[in-house]
Amino acid sequence: MKILTVLKRIFVFTILIFCSVPVLAQSVRISQIDTSSLLINQNVRLYVGLSDNKGLPITGCTADNFSLFESQDGKTYTRIPQITAFNPRANYESGINFLLLIDNSGSMYRSMKARGKFLKSTKIQHAKNAVATFLESVSNPEDTVGIAVYNTYYQCLSDPVKDKAKITRQLSEIQKPEGEAGYTEIYASLFRAVEEFKQVKGRKALIILSDGENRPYFLNTKKVHPDFGTKTFSYTEPVRYCQEEGISVFAINFGDPRERKERHLKEIAYETGGALFDARDESELRNVYSRIADQIVNEYMIDYPATMAPADKKFVKVVYGSGPLKKEASRFYFSSTVFGLPMKNFSLFMLIPLLASLCLAWILSQISFKNKRKEAFLEVLNAGQTKAVTKMFTLNKGRTVIGGSTRADMTIIGGPVPVKENHATIVFDKQKKNYTVICDGEITVNNKPVKKRVLESGDVLDVGGATIVFNDDRE
C-alpha cells in the first residue's frame, strides 16, 4: 500500500510539473525593458525571450506561465500581483543590431578540415565566407552590423552600421596575429564586446565565431596582459553580463569535431538565449539570421504596474514555470526620481529648516532700513570724476565749506571743473532754523544754477561734477 501511495504522489507531482510548464525552457531572458510610459501610467514593459535547449524559441505560452517580481536591491523581491497586458508575439519592427566577434588567433590560420579532409583554404578564410554568407542574408534595412576580432587582444573594427558593404570591406583588413598576439581570450573579449555593444539601443545579438578553447595570455605566459592585467575571466562573467544587458550570443563553431573545442561555448550560447551552429554545415550557417530574427519576433511582451519603492535602479525578475524546473531572468531598469532617494527615517526635525526659513523671511520683512539720522548732513551720492575726500559731513557748525582745499569741511578735488577753495558755503540760520547755500563758484541745486538758496531736505547739489545730497530730517 505504501509503495502505491508513493508512486501515486510521484505521478501527481510529475503531472503538476508538466501542466505548469508547457515546454521546458533552457533559458529565459529579458531582452529589453521599456519604461517610456512609466511616468504617465506606471507601466513597465518587458520583452521576454524563451528558448529551448536547441536555441529555438518557445511559443504558445500564456501570462499564467510567468511570474514577475521587483526588488530595490536585487536581493529581496516583491511579487507583482498582476500582469496588465500580455502579447505572445511582440510587435517587432525596428531592426536587430548584430556584433560579429571573429576569432583571429593563430590557430585560425591553419587549414580547415571538413568531412575528414583538409581543405586548401584556412579557417579564417572560411570564417570570412561564413560572415559574407550571413551579411547576404541580412534582409531588414534597419538592421545594423558591427565587427570585432579577438586573439590575445580584443579589437573593434566597426561599430554597428547599416552599411553592410563596409563590414565586408573590414573583413579583408583582418591581419594575421604575430608573436604573442596569437592567444585566444574568448571570455575576456566577449566581456569587452558586451561592454561596448551595450551602448547600442534596441535588440542585440552577438555572433561569435570560434575555433578553439579559451587560452588566456596571462595563464599561458605568466606575463601581465596589457589590457586585462592578471585577471582571469570565467565564462560565467560574460554570460551574466549578457543576461543583464539582454544580449543573446550565437556561437559558430569552426574546425574538426575531434579538435579541442571551447567546452563552455554551448553554455554561453544557451544560457544567453542564443544557439550553437556548426560552420561545416553551410545550410545551417545560412539559417543563422532567420533563427535570430525568428527568436526576436517570438518574444513575449509583458506589461505590469511598477512598485513605488524608492531606488535609483529597480531589479525585475521574470520566472517562467514553477517548481524545480522553473527558469528565471533578472534585469534592472532606471527608476531614479528627480530628487533622488529619501533619507532613511522620517523625523519631525525635518520641519525645523522650514520653520527657520519662515522666521528668517519674517525677520527680513521687518527690516526697513529706516533713516534714523536726525541731524542735517551732506552726503556724496556720486563722486563722478572727482575725488571726494569726505563722503559724509554732519552740519553741526554754523558754516560749512565745500571746496577744493583740504582746509574745507568737505573737500572735492580732481574733477573736470576746477573747485575753488571756498566754492560753496552752507550757513545755518538759527532764527529760521534752516540752511542756505551761498556760492563763490558755479554750482547747481536740483540741476538749476544758483548763487544763494535756502536748502530743502533731499536737494541735490552738483559741485565740480560731484553729486552731493543735502539732508535735514530733524522734524
Of 116, 175, 338, 374, which lies in the binding site for other proteins, with binding defined by CB under 8 A?
338
Does 374 interact with other proteins (rule: CB under 8 A)? no
Measure the CA–CA gap between 77 and 128, rounded to whole angstroms: 46
> What SS3 state is found at 49?
strand
Choose the stretch contacting other proteins; rule: CB under 8 A; options: 7-15, 121-129, 179-187, 364-372.
Answer: 364-372
> 25 to 64, contacts with other proteins by CB under 8 A?
33-36, 38-42
Per CB under 8 A, 339 contacts other proteins: yes
368 in contact with other proteins (CB under 8 A): yes
Distance between CA atoms of 104 and 148, rounded to whole angstroms?
A: 10
Q: How far is the CB of 258 from other proteins (least distance, A)?
A: 41
**In this complex, which beta carbon is closest to other proteins, that of residue 243 or of residue 422?**
243
Q: Considering the complex, what minimum distance in angstroms separates the CB of residue 290 from other proteins? A: 27
Q: Distance between CA atoms of 212 and 257, rounded to whole angstroms? A: 10
Of 457, 454, 461, nearest in space to 472 by CA: 457
Decide: is 214 part of the binding site for other proteins (CB under 8 A).
no
The alpha-helical segments, DSSP class H, found in 272-343 are 282-286, 288-297
Query: At its nearest, how many Å lie between other proteins and the CB of residue 160?
Result: 12
Instruction: Give the shortest CB-26-to-other proteins separation in angstroms.
Output: 25
3-state secondary structure of 316: strand
Return the closest-CA partner of residue 31 out of 18, 49, 58.
Answer: 49
254 forms part of the interface with other proteins (CB under 8 A): no
> Which stretch, 169-177, 320-328, 361-369, 413-421, contacts other proteins (CB under 8 A)?
361-369
Residues of this chain, 298-317, that bind other proteins according to CB under 8 A: 305-310, 313
Non-local (6+) Cβ contacts of 304 within 8 A are 43, 44, 46, 68, 80, 82, 83, 84
Q: Strands 434-445, 410-413: parallel, antiparallel or unpaired by DSSP? A: unpaired
CB of 20 closer than 8 Å to CB of 323:
yes
Nearer to other proteins, 102 or 206 (CB): 206
First-last CA distance in the chain? 118
Answer yes or no: are the C-beta atoms of 295 and 49 closer than 8 Å: yes
Which three cell numbers mark 4? 502505491
Cβ closest to other proteins, residue 36 vs residue 406? 36
Q: Which of these ranges, 169-177, 212-220, 225-233, 341-349, lies near other proteins under the rule CB under 8 A?
A: 341-349
Which of 210/386 has CB closer to other proteins?
386
Q: How far is the CB of 96 from other proteins (least distance, A)?
A: 16
Nearer to other proteins, 62 or 357 (CB): 357
What count of Cα atoms within 13 Å lies in the side-chain half-sphere of residue 53?
2
Cα(353)–Cα(355) distance, rounded to whole angstroms? 5
Q: Which stretch binds other proteins (CB under 8 A): 92-100, 160-168, 262-270, 352-360?
A: 352-360
Q: Which of 12, 325, 358, 454 binds other proteins (CB under 8 A)?
A: 358
- Tell me the C-alpha to C-alpha distance, in Å, between residue 296 and each of 36, 273, 287, 447: 20, 10, 14, 86
Q: Please work out the total of residues on this chain that contact other proteins, with binding judged by CB under 8 A.
A: 67
Could you say whether residue 458 binds other proteins (CB under 8 A)?
Answer: yes
80-88, 285-293, 339-347, 406-414 -> range binding other proteins (CB under 8 A) = 339-347
Interhelix angle 164-171/123-137, nearest 10 degrees: 180
- Alpha carbons within 13 A on the beta-carbon side of 261: 17
Task: Decide: 219 and 184 in contact? Cβ < 8 Å.
Answer: no
Q: Which residues bind other proteins (CB under 8 A)?
A: 33-36, 38-42, 198-201, 245, 305-310, 313, 333-343, 345-346, 350-354, 356-358, 360-361, 364-365, 367-371, 381-382, 445-448, 456-460, 467, 469, 471-473
